[in-house]
Amino acid sequence: MLQPSLLVQARLSLARAVYRRADLYLLDDPLSAVDPEVGRHLFDKCIREYLLGQGAMVLLATHQASDALQIHGFLHQLNFARI
């Protein structure tokens, strides 16, 4: 049996989440397996415009705390060294 690569698995997981209707989406670092340009496009189109645009709540766990990942002007960041 042919196993898809981790990159393909990550993309399939994000695609499944986007096509499934839900009120809440929990995304565990879905953009880590793509380059920054593709990640920005996926964030803007899939997460910001599509998921947030339909009124869903998105909980995004990531360590890419760049300005590209700011949702509606704010970003909540946890510093695990202080917990």
pLDDT at position 78, please?
54
* For the chain, percent of residues with pLDDT exceeding 90: 0
Residue 54 pLDDT > 80? yes
Tally of structural domains, the chain: 1
Return d(Cα 37, Cα 39) in angstroms, integer.
Answer: 5
Average pLDDT for residues 49-68, to the nearest whole number? 76
pLDDT at position 39, please?
84
The domain in which residue 45 lies consists of 22-82
> Looking at the domain assignment, is residue 14 inside a domain?
no
Residue 81 pLDDT > 70? no
> Looking at the domain assignment, is residue 76 inside a domain?
yes
> Looking at the domain assignment, is residue 77 inside a domain?
yes
> Looking at the domain assignment, is residue 8 inside a domain?
no
Q: Phi and psi for 29 in degrees, rounded to 5? A: 50, 55
Type of residue numbered 76 = H
With CA atoms as reference, report the closest residue to 47 among 13, 74, 76, 17.
17
Q: Tell me if 11 sits within 8 A of 34, measured CB to CB.
A: yes
Cα three-residue angle 16-18-20, rounded to 5 degrees: 70
> Looking at the domain assignment, is residue 4 inside a domain?
no
> Looking at the domain assignment, is residue 65 inside a domain?
yes
